[in-house]
Amino acid sequence: MYFRTTDDMLREFAYLGKDTASRVVIDAPNRISDMIGEPKLFIPHPEGKETFQPHWDGAEDELREITLRRAREIYGETLPSIVQKRIDKELGAIIGYGFSTLYMIAVKLVGKSLADGYIVGSRGSVGSSLVAYLSGITEVNSLPPHYICPSCRHCEFDVSKLGKTGLDLPARDCPECGHRMGKDGFNIPFEVFLGFKGNKVPDIDLNFSGIYQPTAHNYVKELFGPDYVFRAGTIGTIAEKTAYGYVLKYMEERNLSFTNAEKERLARGITGVKRTTGQHPAGMVVLPVDYEIYQFTPIQHPADDTESETVTTHFDFGSMHDVLVKLDILGHDDPTMLRRLQDLTGIAPADVPLNDPEVFWKILSLFSSPEALGLSEDALGTPTGTLGIPEFGTRFVRNMLVETRPRSMEELIRISGLSHGTDVWVGNTQDLVHQGVPLGDCICTRDDIMNALIDLGVDPEVAFKTMESVRKGKGLEPFMEEAIGQVAAPDWYIGSCKKIKYMFPKAHAVAYVLMALRIAYFKIFYPAAYYACFLMRNADAFDATRMVARDITVLRAMMEEIDGLERQERERKENEYALLESLVEMNLRGVCLRPVDLYKSHATDFLLTDGEILPPISSLPGVGQQAAEGLARAREAGPFLSQDDMQRRKVAKSTVEALKLAGCLNGLPESSQVTLFEFGI
């Protein structure tokens, strides 16, 4: 069965005669098509808009009130001109294009998470919006770098020559009252988020703690009602290798033999075919109250599991993008780790003193040397101190740090942008840096394209379109190349743009770097708490039977063993290798691990005990969370009399064996029975 061509169909109906066959095959179908018109998957918007957005009465006024109140708290009752103009421009666009409710949803979600004690990180370009910062959605201040006095509210914005971000500015006392001034601002244009004419539908994506993510999802249902909130559906398709396997199985079952070319042809025909359905890990689709979900998509349980409480859209969200609003409420490790660090140290993430020059420069030094950890490069075996620091701890990014030697917050943001892009560093910016082009002149984030072209004299709308085209990997259209060619752009500029497949937004890079700096602060000043939380974050790769070693030669021998493996196996053990690197560093700094303790170890958490770290029961091979929690419940009844007693208290036999192999049951007899021989009879 296959689609026939027009000639095929004419031959099929040749018995009607040439003229009649032509009317049946060509004329009649075209007339029917004209009567139907252009088919559309979704209903037309009554106002001619593209997106059906939820609407809250009063959202516009509430957003304006929250924004202005916070702006005056920071900058004083009479706002500086640059602040007032930016707020007016943004609110005009946000309210004018109908995005107030979208902002207020994010305001309420972030506010609830913060009230419950969990910091939230912003993703994407939302940090480009000053209104998002002032309303509490993001911690990224998109204004140019500036000083602000927390006492008298005196501001100074004409300071760009002193630093390209607020954190890079030197310390300064207020000329009005003498108080030490605060520093802020990352210089990100709002247009990156919404476009120059509101021609870009904004995405507000948020990183919640993985622990808190289910609460955030349920809160969206509370805000809108369960009939108007659905998980975004996904469609799992057959991968290329799986398709090839199906072809081989088909041949085997039927005793067939095909050429390699035929195998490839059949596999290509299967690749991409729907295999199953699922749910987006973060996406929540919100429906306006005046509509039913069936006007846009069928709904279902993921993988047709009728026992599941989750209801998803049948269409994957890619087919509905910009038609319905999707909130990306992601679970992320950084907010969880910062909350655990707060619990151990009493220091909230917002209280980490990044504005203290001495603290900031000490943190910054980690990105080029481990000396702030009290270690030398030779002792540690790596030239930076960023092992375990999110976004900067992998071998790939550490090599970037070695090649670029960052000395400022601005350069860290650029490196973050490069490391998250595709074909932006390797074979592109890396070569330019080797040729002597300063990192600050290179294209590192998508914002760099628009900002640089506007500064060179390119029309802002053309600069925006160029940025959007390049960051999506679409290269340059002829009118874009022509515009760049008419200004004094570097010779390498067009070639660099054409190589790029994906570019990271600057606001997202700033948010990631701020998280990394906070965690680096705890690594320097609270090492035991940091390593306990780091191990908790990487618990899946930790093996308490092998990695509890105070002799770093043992740990390094394990690393050498991994280095000697074949490439594929070595890559599979990459997480284990990274963990071993940090364990070496931890021991060199005097923080040690204790063996798992039958009675003192927590079921699943790493504990701090007298400056040392006690691994959980679940860190033993073969002991999962449920088994570890079962042991913890069983020991509440008092000390175990024997290994048999453990099993009588419902401790799994496999857990008892794992504890025995790890040496945790030394001195505990196998049986509670007492023989006459034990009494010497």
Domain ranges within the chain, ordered by starting residue:
6-36, 59-194, 205-334, 526-661
Token pair in block for residue 391: 């976004």
| Alpha carbon 599 to its chain's center | 37
Token pair in block for residue 402: 């070695």
Dist CA 228 CA 221 (whole Å): 8
Contact 373, 366 (CB under 8 A): yes
At 654 the pLDDT is 93
Q: Give the pairing of strands 229-237 and 312-316.
A: parallel
Q: What DSSP designation does 159 have? A: -
Please give the residue that has the higher pLDDT: either 612 or 201.
Answer: 612
Other residues' Cβ atoms within 10 Å of the Cβ of residue 419: 20
Q: Give the pairing of strands 299-300 and 312-316.
A: antiparallel
Give helix 260-270 / helix 240-254 axis angle, nearest 10°.
Answer: 120
Q: What DSSP designation does 212 have? A: T
At 673 the pLDDT is 66
Token pair in block for residue 622: 């073969």
- 59: Cβ–Cβ under 8 A, 6 or more apart, which residues? 100, 101, 103, 104
In the predicted structure, residue 588 carries a pLDDT above the cut 80: yes
Query: 168-171, long-range: CB within 8 Å, 24+ apart, which pairs?
Result: 168/408, 168/409, 168/410, 169/145, 170/357, 171/357
In the predicted structure, residue 674 carries a pLDDT above the cut 70: no
Among residues 73, 167, 75, 90, which one has the least CA distance to residue 127? 90
At 31 the pLDDT is 93
The whole-number average pLDDT for the span 409-429 is 96
Q: Which residue has the tokens 């030669």?
A: 553
C-alpha distances out from residue 256 to 249, 250, 268, 494, 674, Å: 10, 8, 18, 52, 68
In the predicted structure, residue 323 carries a pLDDT above the cut 60: yes
The whole-number average pLDDT for the span 632-652 is 92
Dist CA 21 CA 593 (whole Å): 84
pLDDT band at 47 (very low <50, low <70, confident <90, very high): confident
pLDDT band at 199 (very low <50, low <70, confident <90, very high): low
Residue type, 194: L
| Alpha carbon 179 to its chain's center | 38
Dist CA 589 CA 623 (whole Å): 30
Phi and psi at 393, nearest 5°, equal -100, -10
Token pair in block for residue 377: 């490069």
Other residues' Cβ atoms within 10 Å of the Cβ of residue 673: 9
In the predicted structure, residue 676 carries a pLDDT above the cut 50: no
Q: What DSSP designation does 206 have? A: E
Residue type, 274: K
H/E segment holding residue 450: helix 446-456
Q: In angstroms, what is the C-alpha Rg of the chain?
A: 30
CATH architecture assigned to 205-334: 2-Layer Sandwich (3.30)
C-alpha distances out from residue 161 to 143, 165, 168, Å: 15, 10, 11
**pLDDT mean across residues, the chain:** 92
- Which CATH code of 1.10.150.870, 2.60.40.10, 3.40.1360.10, 3.30.930.10 fits the domain covering 526-661? 1.10.150.870
3-state secondary structure of 169: coil
In this structure, of 6-20, 83-97, 322-336, 593-607, the range with the lowest mean pLDDT score is: 322-336
In the predicted structure, residue 222 carries a pLDDT above the cut 50: yes
Over pLDDT 90: what percentage of the chain?
A: 79
pLDDT band at 388 (very low <50, low <70, confident <90, very high): very high
Other residues' Cβ atoms within 10 Å of the Cβ of residue 179: 13
Residue type, 322: D
Other residues' Cβ atoms within 10 Å of the Cβ of residue 155: 20
Beta bridge partners of residue 233, listed in sequence order: 279, 316
Query: 91-97, long-range: CB within 8 Å, 24+ apart, which pairs?
Result: 91/63, 91/64, 91/67, 91/131, 93/190, 93/194, 93/198, 94/63, 94/129, 94/131, 94/194, 95/60, 95/63, 95/64, 96/198, 97/194, 97/198
At 679 the pLDDT is 45
Dist CA 310 CA 232 (whole Å): 10
Dist CA 89 CA 194 (whole Å): 11
Among residues 249, 60, 83, which one has the least CA distance to residue 156? 83
| Alpha carbon 640 to its chain's center | 45
Q: Which residue has the tokens 């095909």?
A: 258
- 272: Cβ–Cβ under 8 A, 6 or more apart, which residues? 237, 238
Dist CA 426 CA 422 (whole Å): 9
pLDDT band at 66 (very low <50, low <70, confident <90, very high): very high
Distance separating the N- and C-terminal Cα atoms of the chain: 89
Phi and psi at 397, nearest 5°, equal -75, -35
At 618 the pLDDT is 95
Residue ranges with strand state E in 515-668: 607-609, 612-614
The whole-number average pLDDT for the span 190-196 is 83
In the predicted structure, residue 236 carries a pLDDT above the cut 90: no
Q: Which residue has the tokens 């700096």?
A: 517
At 198 the pLDDT is 60
Kindly report the three-state secondary structure assignment for every residue of 498-527: HHCCECCCHHHHHHHHHHHHHHHHHHHHCH
Contact 418, 400 (CB under 8 A): yes
At 1 the pLDDT is 58
In the predicted structure, residue 482 carries a pLDDT above the cut 80: yes
Q: Which residue has the tokens 């007298």?
A: 610
- 314: Cβ–Cβ under 8 A, 6 or more apart, which residues? 233, 277, 297, 298, 299, 300
At 166 the pLDDT is 95
In the predicted structure, residue 17 carries a pLDDT above the cut 80: yes
The whole-number average pLDDT for the span 559-581 is 92
H-assigned helices in 179-318: 191-194, 213-224, 240-254, 260-270
